[in-house]
Amino acid sequence: MNKIVEFKGTSDGIVLQIRPFHCFEEVAECIHKKFEKSAQFFTGATIVGVEGEIGVEKNRFELYKLLTEDYKLNVISLDRVVKIEKEPEAVKEPEIKKEEIAIEALNYNEYDTKIVRKNLRSGMGVSYDGNIVVIGDVNPGAEIQAGGNVIVMGKLRGMVHAGKFGNKETYIIASKLIPTQIRIANIIARAPEDDHIDELKPEIAHIKSGHMSIEEL
């Protein structure tokens, strides 16, 4: 049982090595026993990835809650770490129409969706494990955190975080993208300054070749 999960230190942080298991309770029990023996070692530790298979998305969510809420660890990502033995050959990415990306985001069914039918003013926040759709504006000082996608049917001028559990396949769409800060998984960016703030021009933010890309729809 104690060998199901190992903590491997790297220059960037700790990688969880997860061996095959039957149910997530075995993973949780293994982590609990390790913390009982070496709690001081993990103080302030940062988790940067996983080697092995977590299984269904629910397991990833439960692991995130266990590490952050029960043991107060800083979890940057629970994405799978892939060992690369040699420099991969450059692969030309297929051309994807922006309209197709928007449709894919709107039809993203892996998570449930929370709909907010009002403007979010400064000091207000919305956090949800699935998708978040705001029918209104998100003003400066407001904050959104979603495990899935974020879609704003108005101006997005506050802080927004999609894929908060480390999912880099999520998207952020708004009628006008001018956020204070925008984040997908662990990639953070700011929207460029725009002289045409009042002009509604639908845009999408997503991860492309490891970088944040903001494009018109």
pLDDT exceeds cutoff 90 at 38: no
Per-residue confidence (pLDDT) for residue 98, from 0 to 100: 46
Query: Rounded to the nearest 10 degrees, how much is the dihedral formed by the CA atoms of 213, 131, 152, 76?
Result: -40
Q: How large a percentage of the chain has pLDDT more than 70? A: 79
Q: Average pLDDT, stretch 170-182?
A: 91
Per-residue confidence (pLDDT) for residue 133, from 0 to 100: 92
Highest mean pLDDT among 4-8, 40-44, 104-108, 166-170: 166-170
For residue 214, give the H/E element and its range: strand 211-216
pLDDT digits (tens, 9 = 90+) for 46-79: 888 888 888 888 888 888 888 888 888 888 888 8
pLDDT exceeds cutoff 70 at 178: yes
| Whether the Cβ atoms of residue 76 and residue 186 lie closer than 8 Å to each other | yes
| 123: its two tokens | 């000091």
pLDDT digits (tens, 9 = 90+) for 143-175: 999 999 999 999 999 999 999 998 999 999 999
DSSP state of 157: -
Q: Average pLDDT, stretch 8-33?
A: 86
> Domains of the chain: which residue ranges?
5-75, 98-216
- How many angstroms separate the CA atoms of 18 and 113, rounded? 30
- How many angstroms separate the CA atoms of 182 and 61, rounded? 22
CATH of 98-216, one of 3.90.228.20, 2.160.20.70, 3.40.50.2300, 3.30.300.30: 2.160.20.70
Per-residue confidence (pLDDT) for residue 86, from 0 to 100: 39
Whole-number mean pLDDT of the chain? 80
Q: Average pLDDT, stretch 8-15?
A: 82
pLDDT digits (tens, 9 = 90+) for 63-120: 888 888 888 888 888 887 754 333 444 445 455 454 454 445 445 444 588 899 999 9
Per-residue confidence (pLDDT) for residue 90, from 0 to 100: 46
SS3 call for 37: helix
